Amino acid sequence: MDTQLLVNGAHKLGVNINDTMAAQFSAYTELLLKWNETMNLTTITDPDDIVIKHYLDSLTCLKAVKFRKGDIVADVGTGAGFPGVPLAIVRPDVKVVLIDATRKRLSFLEEVINTISNLAEEGNAPNIEILQARAEDAGRMPEHREHYNIVVARAVAEMRILVEYCLPLVKLGGVFVAMKGPQVEGELALARPGIGTLGGGRPEIVELTLPGTDIQRSLIVIKKIKPTPEQFPRHGSKIAQKPL
Protein backbone atom coordinates (compact mmCIF):
# COMPACT_ATOMS: atom_id res chain seq x y z
CA MET A 1 0.00 0.00 0.00
CA ASP A 2 1.23 3.51 -0.87
CA THR A 3 1.23 5.13 2.57
CA GLN A 4 2.01 8.58 1.16
CA LEU A 5 -1.02 8.40 -1.13
CA LEU A 6 -3.18 7.77 1.93
CA VAL A 7 -1.51 10.46 4.04
CA ASN A 8 -1.71 13.13 1.32
CA GLY A 9 -5.26 12.29 0.34
CA ALA A 10 -6.47 12.27 3.92
CA HIS A 11 -4.74 15.62 4.53
CA LYS A 12 -6.80 17.12 1.72
CA LEU A 13 -9.90 15.93 3.56
CA GLY A 14 -8.67 17.53 6.78
CA VAL A 15 -7.63 14.23 8.38
CA ASN A 16 -4.21 13.56 9.89
CA ILE A 17 -2.81 10.05 9.43
CA ASN A 18 -0.04 9.26 11.92
CA ASP A 19 2.42 6.36 11.68
CA THR A 20 0.27 4.06 13.81
CA MET A 21 -2.80 4.70 11.68
CA ALA A 22 -0.79 4.14 8.50
CA ALA A 23 0.35 0.77 9.84
CA GLN A 24 -3.27 -0.12 10.68
CA PHE A 25 -4.43 0.74 7.16
CA SER A 26 -1.57 -1.31 5.68
CA ALA A 27 -2.57 -4.33 7.78
CA TYR A 28 -6.20 -3.82 6.77
CA THR A 29 -5.17 -3.86 3.11
CA GLU A 30 -3.21 -7.10 3.52
CA LEU A 31 -6.13 -8.83 5.22
CA LEU A 32 -8.63 -7.53 2.68
CA LEU A 33 -6.61 -8.92 -0.23
CA LYS A 34 -5.91 -12.20 1.56
CA TRP A 35 -9.55 -12.88 2.47
CA ASN A 36 -10.74 -11.67 -0.92
CA GLU A 37 -9.01 -14.64 -2.53
CA THR A 38 -11.59 -16.99 -1.01
CA MET A 39 -14.67 -14.79 -0.57
CA ASN A 40 -16.21 -11.84 -2.36
CA LEU A 41 -15.33 -8.78 -0.28
CA THR A 42 -14.39 -6.30 -2.99
CA THR A 43 -13.90 -6.02 -6.73
CA ILE A 44 -11.25 -3.37 -6.11
CA THR A 45 -7.92 -5.14 -5.67
CA ASP A 46 -5.27 -2.64 -6.78
CA PRO A 47 -3.72 -1.24 -3.57
CA ASP A 48 -3.81 2.37 -4.80
CA ASP A 49 -7.45 2.00 -5.77
CA ILE A 50 -8.19 0.56 -2.33
CA VAL A 51 -6.66 3.65 -0.76
CA ILE A 52 -8.65 6.03 -2.93
CA LYS A 53 -11.95 4.24 -3.50
CA HIS A 54 -12.30 2.60 -0.10
CA TYR A 55 -10.25 4.44 2.52
CA LEU A 56 -10.40 8.05 1.32
CA ASP A 57 -13.99 7.56 0.20
CA SER A 58 -14.85 6.39 3.72
CA LEU A 59 -13.16 9.41 5.28
CA THR A 60 -15.34 11.82 3.28
CA CYS A 61 -17.97 11.28 6.00
CA LEU A 62 -15.83 13.52 8.20
CA LYS A 63 -16.36 16.34 5.70
CA ALA A 64 -20.13 15.91 5.79
CA VAL A 65 -20.81 15.90 9.53
CA LYS A 66 -18.96 16.70 12.74
CA PHE A 67 -17.94 13.62 14.71
CA ARG A 68 -17.75 14.46 18.43
CA LYS A 69 -15.77 12.63 21.07
CA GLY A 70 -17.94 9.87 22.53
CA ASP A 71 -20.33 9.70 19.58
CA ILE A 72 -21.81 6.29 18.80
CA VAL A 73 -21.75 5.56 15.07
CA ALA A 74 -23.52 2.75 13.19
CA ASP A 75 -22.27 1.53 9.80
CA VAL A 76 -25.27 -0.17 8.19
CA GLY A 77 -24.51 -2.94 5.69
CA THR A 78 -20.81 -2.53 6.40
CA GLY A 79 -19.67 -5.33 4.07
CA ALA A 80 -15.87 -5.33 4.16
CA GLY A 81 -15.90 -2.56 6.77
CA PHE A 82 -16.48 0.60 4.75
CA PRO A 83 -16.80 3.30 5.92
CA GLY A 84 -16.84 2.12 9.54
CA VAL A 85 -13.33 0.70 9.98
CA PRO A 86 -11.45 3.63 8.37
CA LEU A 87 -13.51 6.04 10.48
CA ALA A 88 -12.70 4.07 13.64
CA ILE A 89 -8.98 4.06 12.82
CA VAL A 90 -8.74 7.83 12.45
CA ARG A 91 -11.25 8.58 15.23
CA PRO A 92 -10.60 6.16 18.11
CA ASP A 93 -12.50 8.58 20.36
CA VAL A 94 -15.84 7.49 18.84
CA LYS A 95 -17.53 4.10 19.04
CA VAL A 96 -18.33 2.40 15.73
CA VAL A 97 -20.81 -0.47 15.45
CA LEU A 98 -20.51 -2.48 12.23
CA ILE A 99 -23.89 -3.93 11.23
CA ASP A 100 -24.12 -6.73 8.69
CA ALA A 101 -26.18 -9.88 8.30
CA THR A 102 -23.46 -12.10 6.80
CA ARG A 103 -21.42 -14.14 9.27
CA LYS A 104 -18.48 -14.69 6.89
CA ARG A 105 -17.96 -10.97 6.41
CA LEU A 106 -18.12 -10.41 10.14
CA SER A 107 -15.49 -13.13 10.69
CA PHE A 108 -13.21 -11.17 8.39
CA LEU A 109 -13.94 -7.98 10.31
CA GLU A 110 -13.22 -9.66 13.63
CA GLU A 111 -9.71 -10.47 12.39
CA VAL A 112 -9.30 -6.90 11.12
CA ILE A 113 -10.36 -5.48 14.47
CA ASN A 114 -8.00 -7.73 16.41
CA THR A 115 -5.09 -6.93 14.11
CA ILE A 116 -5.47 -3.15 14.06
CA SER A 117 -6.13 -3.09 17.82
CA ASN A 118 -2.83 -4.90 18.44
CA LEU A 119 -1.06 -2.25 16.36
CA ALA A 120 -2.61 0.64 18.29
CA GLU A 121 -0.88 2.71 20.92
CA GLU A 122 -1.85 1.78 24.46
CA GLY A 123 -5.24 3.21 25.39
CA ASN A 124 -5.92 4.42 21.86
CA ALA A 125 -7.24 1.35 20.02
CA PRO A 126 -10.16 1.76 17.62
CA ASN A 127 -13.46 1.33 19.47
CA ILE A 128 -15.33 -1.09 17.21
CA GLU A 129 -18.15 -3.55 17.87
CA ILE A 130 -19.93 -5.96 15.54
CA LEU A 131 -23.65 -6.64 15.28
CA GLN A 132 -24.87 -9.50 13.12
CA ALA A 133 -28.34 -8.38 12.06
CA ARG A 134 -30.35 -7.10 9.17
CA ALA A 135 -30.73 -3.33 9.39
CA GLU A 136 -34.52 -3.52 9.68
CA ASP A 137 -34.20 -6.00 12.55
CA ALA A 138 -31.66 -3.81 14.35
CA GLY A 139 -34.07 -0.89 14.06
CA ARG A 140 -36.64 -2.82 16.08
CA MET A 141 -34.22 -3.83 18.84
CA PRO A 142 -34.72 -1.60 21.91
CA GLU A 143 -30.98 -1.38 22.53
CA HIS A 144 -30.32 -0.11 18.99
CA ARG A 145 -33.46 1.80 18.03
CA GLU A 146 -32.84 5.57 18.09
CA HIS A 147 -29.52 4.90 19.81
CA TYR A 148 -26.91 6.33 17.43
CA ASN A 149 -25.58 9.87 17.05
CA ILE A 150 -24.52 9.14 13.47
CA VAL A 151 -25.61 6.38 11.09
CA VAL A 152 -23.70 5.89 7.84
CA ALA A 153 -24.40 3.66 4.85
CA ARG A 154 -22.37 3.20 1.67
CA ALA A 155 -23.68 1.55 -1.51
CA VAL A 156 -26.41 -0.36 0.30
CA ALA A 157 -29.69 0.48 -1.47
CA GLU A 158 -31.61 3.26 -3.18
CA MET A 159 -32.67 6.12 -0.93
CA ARG A 160 -36.36 5.20 -0.51
CA ILE A 161 -35.29 1.85 0.94
CA LEU A 162 -32.18 3.10 2.71
CA VAL A 163 -33.96 5.69 4.83
CA GLU A 164 -36.25 3.06 6.31
CA TYR A 165 -33.26 0.89 7.15
CA CYS A 166 -31.30 3.70 8.75
CA LEU A 167 -33.42 6.52 10.20
CA PRO A 168 -35.00 4.30 12.90
CA LEU A 169 -31.48 3.77 14.29
CA VAL A 170 -30.72 7.51 14.57
CA LYS A 171 -31.40 9.20 17.89
CA LEU A 172 -33.33 12.47 18.02
CA GLY A 173 -30.94 15.24 17.01
CA GLY A 174 -28.57 12.77 15.35
CA VAL A 175 -27.86 12.42 11.64
CA PHE A 176 -27.96 9.85 8.88
CA VAL A 177 -25.30 10.06 6.13
CA ALA A 178 -25.99 8.23 2.86
CA MET A 179 -22.88 7.91 0.71
CA LYS A 180 -23.76 8.17 -2.97
CA GLY A 181 -22.29 8.96 -6.35
CA PRO A 182 -23.07 12.09 -8.40
CA GLN A 183 -26.51 13.21 -9.54
CA VAL A 184 -28.59 12.07 -6.58
CA GLU A 185 -31.37 14.65 -6.87
CA GLY A 186 -33.82 12.35 -8.67
CA GLU A 187 -33.32 9.49 -6.23
CA LEU A 188 -33.58 11.86 -3.30
CA ALA A 189 -36.78 13.46 -4.60
CA LEU A 190 -38.51 10.07 -4.56
CA ALA A 191 -37.35 9.50 -0.98
CA ARG A 192 -38.48 12.82 0.50
CA PRO A 193 -41.98 11.66 1.59
CA GLY A 194 -40.49 8.67 3.41
CA ILE A 195 -37.82 10.81 5.05
CA GLY A 196 -40.50 12.99 6.60
CA THR A 197 -42.59 10.01 7.66
CA LEU A 198 -39.60 8.42 9.41
CA GLY A 199 -38.72 11.58 11.35
CA GLY A 200 -36.03 13.06 9.12
CA GLY A 201 -35.60 16.73 8.35
CA ARG A 202 -34.72 18.42 5.09
CA PRO A 203 -31.80 16.61 3.42
CA GLU A 204 -28.55 18.41 2.70
CA ILE A 205 -26.29 17.29 -0.15
CA VAL A 206 -22.54 17.61 0.35
CA GLU A 207 -20.72 17.25 -2.97
CA LEU A 208 -16.99 16.63 -3.25
CA THR A 209 -14.28 14.99 -5.36
CA LEU A 210 -12.05 12.23 -4.05
CA PRO A 211 -8.51 13.65 -3.60
CA GLY A 212 -6.25 13.22 -6.60
CA THR A 213 -9.07 12.02 -8.86
CA ASP A 214 -12.08 13.26 -10.80
CA ILE A 215 -14.40 10.84 -8.95
CA GLN A 216 -17.48 12.69 -7.77
CA ARG A 217 -19.23 11.85 -4.50
CA SER A 218 -22.46 13.06 -2.95
CA LEU A 219 -23.16 12.64 0.74
CA ILE A 220 -26.78 13.08 1.74
CA VAL A 221 -27.09 14.30 5.32
CA ILE A 222 -30.45 13.96 7.08
CA LYS A 223 -31.01 15.20 10.64
CA LYS A 224 -33.46 13.31 12.85
CA ILE A 225 -36.01 15.88 14.01
CA LYS A 226 -38.88 13.63 15.17
CA PRO A 227 -39.11 10.10 16.61
CA THR A 228 -39.71 7.34 14.08
CA PRO A 229 -43.30 5.99 14.36
CA GLU A 230 -43.56 2.59 16.04
CA GLN A 231 -44.59 0.73 12.89
CA PHE A 232 -41.24 1.41 11.21
CA PRO A 233 -39.01 -0.14 10.08
CA ARG A 234 -41.22 -2.71 8.40
CA HIS A 235 -39.98 -6.16 7.43
CA GLY A 236 -37.42 -6.19 4.63
CA SER A 237 -39.73 -7.65 2.00
CA LYS A 238 -42.30 -4.92 2.57
CA ILE A 239 -39.67 -2.20 2.41
CA ALA A 240 -38.45 -3.52 -0.95
CA GLN A 241 -41.88 -4.17 -2.44
CA LYS A 242 -43.50 -0.92 -1.36
CA PRO A 243 -41.01 1.80 -0.44
CA LEU A 244 -42.41 4.78 1.44
Pick the CATH number of 3-241 from 3.40.50.150, 3.30.420.40, 3.60.20.10, 3.30.200.20: 3.40.50.150
pLDDT in tens, 158-178: 999 999 999 999 999 999 999
Q: Which 3 state secondary structure label does DSSP give 3?
A: helix
Q: Which 3 state secondary structure label does DSSP give 213?
A: coil
Say how far apart CA 88 and CA 126 lie, in whole Å.
Answer: 5
Q: Give the distance from CA 132 to its chain's centroid.
A: 15
pLDDT band at residue 146 under the 50/70/90 scheme: very high
Residue 155 scores a pLDDT above 80: no
Query: According to the model, what pLDDT value does residue 3 have?
Result: 96
pLDDT in tens, 56-69: 999 999 999 999 99
Mean pLDDT of the 89-95 span = 98
Average confidence score pLDDT of the chain: 96
CB within 8 A of 17, min separation 6: which ones?
Answer: 6, 7, 10, 11, 25, 90
Query: According to the model, what pLDDT value does residue 122 have?
Result: 87
Domain range list for the chain: 3-241
pLDDT in tens, 203-217: 999 999 999 999 999
